[in-house]
């Protein structure tokens, strides 16, 4: 039987709250077995952009990435956030290694084609080089990926962290029994965004279609859900959405995705 690999994507307000992040990283460090962490950091990047006099532009929650925006993303994602997380994990006894998709040619993307909207330097994942990542895992490292990839021709690309997590899980599912956890400040997918306890425990393809039609799942949660189902279709064994406390207490309330 292949080894179990847990891939955790952390996002939302957790990254912006030092105490929550500290607690999450300790739980992640104590997670048994092979593991990979994927993080975003859009809010912090937005704050830095504004301090530099840049006004971030978003369309339906998706960031437009100009030349200047990309410079900020590389500095904040691959620099400040990534290395701070790595240092904290090292302090907790987890031999973390901070990476972008360019490191070790791990994740190659293509620049999103210009359609009705020009997203600028935004990348869509084209290939995950699973062998390189597997070698790091087998050597005892815990990869920590930020939300950046490259095109193989010298260009960095801003890439959705949820998508990176799903594509890593799919790419490594041939070598490991992969599980994917999306952790953020909520307990799971909510039926009512005003009720923190209205968690939907299980969502399958049929109920997802119904929840979209009813408007229960909309806006920013839609791309996350699409990544969840893509991961399951790609061979990932388990996909969960929930609060970071799920790492220490797997029985906590959460949402499980099924085909």
**What is this structure's pTM?**
0.96
Q: Which CATH class is domain 4-257?
A: alpha beta
Range from 62-76, 123-137, 153-167, 168-182 carrying the lowest mean pLDDT: 62-76
Distance CA 198, CA 201 (A): 9
Where along the chain do its domains lie? 4-257
Q: How confident is the model at residue 1 (pLDDT cuts 50, 70, 90)?
A: confident
Range from 3-12, 24-33, 42-51, 92-101 carrying the lowest mean pLDDT: 42-51
Q: Kindly report, residue by residue over 15-63, the tens digit of the pLDDT.
A: 988 999 999 999 999 999 999 999 999 888 889 899 999 888 877 667 8
The mean predicted confidence, pLDDT, of the chain is: 94
Distance CA 166, CA 38 (A): 10
Confidence (pLDDT) at 61? 63
Q: Is pLDDT above 70 for 127? A: yes
Q: How confident is the model at residue 5 (pLDDT cuts 50, 70, 90)?
A: very high
Q: Kindly report, residue by residue over 68-80, the tens digit of the pLDDT.
A: 999 999 999 999 9
Phi and psi dihedrals of 144, rounded to 5? -125, 105
Q: How confident is the model at residue 208 (pLDDT cuts 50, 70, 90)?
A: very high
Range from 8-22, 100-114, 161-175 carrying the lowest mean pLDDT: 8-22
Q: Is pLDDT above 80 for 96? A: yes
Mean pLDDT of 199-226: 93
Mean pLDDT of 230-254: 96
Q: How confident is the model at residue 154 (pLDDT cuts 50, 70, 90)?
A: very high
Rg (CA), the chain: 17
Distance CA 59, CA 182 (A): 23
Q: How confident is the model at residue 219 (pLDDT cuts 50, 70, 90)?
A: confident
């Amino acid at each position: 039987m292949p080894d179990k690999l847990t891939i955790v994507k952390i996002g939302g307000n957790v990254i912006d709250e030092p105490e929550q992040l500290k607690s999450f990283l300790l739980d992640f460090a104590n997670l048994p077995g092979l593991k990979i962490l994927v993080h975003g950091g859009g809010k912090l990047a937005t704050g830095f952009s504004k301090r530099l006099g840049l006004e971030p532009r978003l369309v339906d929650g998706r960031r437009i990435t100009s030349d200047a925006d990309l410079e900020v993303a590389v500095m904040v994602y691959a620099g400040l956030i990534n290395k701070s997380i790595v240092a904290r994990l090292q302090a907790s006894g987890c031999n973390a290694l901070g990476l972008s998709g360019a490191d070790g040619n791990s994740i190659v993307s293509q620049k999103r084609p210009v359609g009705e909207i020009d997203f600028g330097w935004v990348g869509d994942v084209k290939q995950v080089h699973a062998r390189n990542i597997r070698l790091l895992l087998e050597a005892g490292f815990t990869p920590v990926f930020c939300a950046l990839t490259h095109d193989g021709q010298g260009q960095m690309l801003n890439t959705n962290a949820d998508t990176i997590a799903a594509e890593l899980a799919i790419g490594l599912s041939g070598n490991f029994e992969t599980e994917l956890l999306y952790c953020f400040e909520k307990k799971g997918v909510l039926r009512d965004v005003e009720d923190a306890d209205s968690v939907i425990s299980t969502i399958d393809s049929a109920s997802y279609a119904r929840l979209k039609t009813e408007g229960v799942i909309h806006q920013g949660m839609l791309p996350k859900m699409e990544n969840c189902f893509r991961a399951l279709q790609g061979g990932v064994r388990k996909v969960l959405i929930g609060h970071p406390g799920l790492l220490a207490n797997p029985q906590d309330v959460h949402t499980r995705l099924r085909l």
